[in-house]
A and B are shown apart, each in its own frame.
Chain A
Amino acid sequence: MHIDELVTLVEKMPAFPNSVQRVVELASDINSSGKDIVVVIESDPVMTVKILKAINSPFYGLPRKINSIQRAVVHIGINTIKNMALSVAAIGVLKPHNKAGFDTGKFLLHSLMTAAICKKLGETMGVPQNELSDYYVAGLLHDFGKVVFAEFKAEAFKQSLQKSAEQQLPLHHCENEFIGIDHSQAGALLAEKWAFDASLVEAINHHHTPPQSSLLTQCLFVANQVSKQLGIGDAGNPIVEAFPEAVSAHFGMDLNEVIESLGDLSTLKSEALSFIH
């Protein structure tokens, strides 16, 4: 699969049904507040990606890369962001079940949980307030490549999902076999093409193989394992991966200890669930 093909495919990619409905409702409600619309966009990987992509496009030429919807709102105004969301919403709607048999509702829940947990981990690791949204967005978008596969490489992605489930293999290994590229590479290529910040590109690229250096990538790795271990949502990968050396060294805990340290996640879960239903 070629990068240019990937990029064109994403242009055609529709948003998730529930957020489309909410964006349309909010846009027609004169009393809706800016933050309502931000919340909806932030809960939808397709809207998020498309808006960040447009804002970071080279001919738009912002001095700094913009990694989060909130930042985008401050730079360009809530009304423009709302209108961009509306135009994304106007492009079809992602089907809850598709030819690949990939459940987009469960996928969205997995993404939202990973996003919330990643942000929370960043917070506990002392990441400054103004960088936490990068942690959220990294969690939200880390598996973005899978939605592209489900929509446009349905047959090969279906085979990957099946083999991964039947033989209990990591999904990204099977994607490599059937599609020739895995979702973390696909997501990273897209993020790079759209001029997202290098740290975000790296986090998406290495979310299964976190390097020593990046705290963001390590938090994302851990958040991803936590949401899989807890079984909240499902993005098609049955394997909870062991912590690599770098991650263990950094967190000084194993997966269950991390989960314990995070405390009660039921609020995060119900918030995430409220976007799916």
Chain B
Amino acid sequence: MKLIFRGVRGSIPTPGPGTVKYGGNTTCIEIRTASNELIILDAGTGIHALAQRLNPRETVNAHIFITHTHWDHIQGLPFFMPIFMPNNLINIYGGIDPVTNEGIQRSMGVQLQYSFFPIREAELKAKLNYHTLLPGKTVSVGEARITPTLLNHPVLNFGYRIDCDGQSLFFTGDYEPVYNIYSPEDPDHDEYQSYVEAKLAEVAQAMSDVDALIVDASYTDEEYRSKQGWGHGTYRSALSMAAQAHAKKLFLTHHDPCRSDRQLDRIHQQLQQENRDAPFDILMAREGIEYTL
């Protein structure tokens, strides 16, 4: 599989001189299988850059897997140019939100209303298929098998594992590892802790032995102290996840919009220095660079 980040920012696009190296688009990852299937993880603004690279004379058959419906992960969908061209086939996959009971078609339906966007869903020229995914139920795209796992975030969020061509990767989407909401003195603490551990083990199992683990690492430990419960992970939680999963490469992504290239470089250096013995590579997700797994 080949892997290209098209958007690496969390929350909001951040163009400007300070974000040239790593990029300023919100989350979007392009995956190409050996047989050239196009799998896209999330449709942040980076999906526009992805579309620009597609050959306009070829029909597009894309499989877009949405981790969750926060803006920074769906905002690029209406700007994915192939949806306006006939003969293209766009498959969009995602889960059902238990609060609204609605599937992933809502993310497009909500955005394509006249008050927000000039073109209505009915006017799109490509054929759009929506697929509702269930946690733990694998779907196939050509040779690739994609398995969703429920991960903690303030809205339903799927992490995706992709197995293909004898290789594997896991992308968390936005993920804050679950933690105990009770303090140790609380009588409910131990019982809750047992659920937390079972859930963390389930997640570790889902990402076990991947060639690439792509993780939402938005915060430093210090920042996290005031941001617990916001739904994002830390550099530290990403490192321990990679160790537990025996991942070969760890990609840190969902960079905080306030973080400049210089700051990301510095964090990266520091992480590498402090984890020289780590049995995996530590990489900062960077737009446009192609990785072959």
Contact = CB atoms under 8 A, between A and B. Distances in A.
Interface of A: 33-35, 38, 54-55, 59-63, 70-71, 73-80, 83-84, 87, 129-130, 132-133
Nearest to A34: B181
Contacts of A77: 152-157, 231
B150 A129 contact: no
Interface in B172-228: 178, 181-182, 186, 188, 190-192, 194-196, 198-199
Contacts, number: 77
Contacts of B157: 77
14 contacts: A35-B186, A54-B101, A59-B134, A63-B135, A74-B152, A74-B192, A76-B98, A78-B181, A79-B155, A79-B231, A80-B98, A84-B99, A129-B190, A130-B195
Counting contact residues on chain B (CB < 8 A from A), the size range is 20 to 34
B99 A87 contact: yes
Contacts of B99: 80, 83-84, 87
B148 to A, nearest CB: 10
B195 A80 contact: no
B132 interface: yes
B57 interface: no
A54 B186 CA distance: 28
Nearest to A73: B181
Closest 4 CB pairs of A and B: A61-B134, A79-B154, A130-B194, A34-B181
Given A34-B181, A61-B136, 20 more contacts: A34-B229, A35-B188, A59-B96, A59-B132, A60-B134, A60-B135, A61-B137, A62-B135, A62-B150, A70-B188, A70-B191, A70-B192, A74-B195, A75-B199, A77-B156, A77-B157, A79-B231, A80-B97, A80-B99, A129-B190
Contacts of B137: 61
A59 B192 CA distance: 26
Contacts of B98: 54-55, 60, 76, 80, 84
DSSP majority for the B interface? Answer: loop
Contacts of A62: 135-136, 150
Contacts of B195: 70-71, 74, 130
Interface in B215-262: 229, 231
B229 A133 contact: no
A74 B154 contact: no
B150 A132 contact: no
A54 B229 CA distance: 23
Nearest to A42: B188
A74 B195 CA distance: 7
A129 B191 contact: yes
Nearest to B103: A59
A83 B153 CA distance: 13
Nearest to B192: A70
B208 to A, nearest CB: 16
B191 A130 contact: yes
A38 B136 contact: no
Contacts of A87: 99
Contacts of A55: 98
Given A34-B229, A80-B154, A60 B191 contact: no
A76 B154 CA distance: 9
Given A61-B134, A83-B99, A78 B192 contact: no
Nearest to B191: A129
Given A55-B98, A61-B137, A129 B182 contact: no
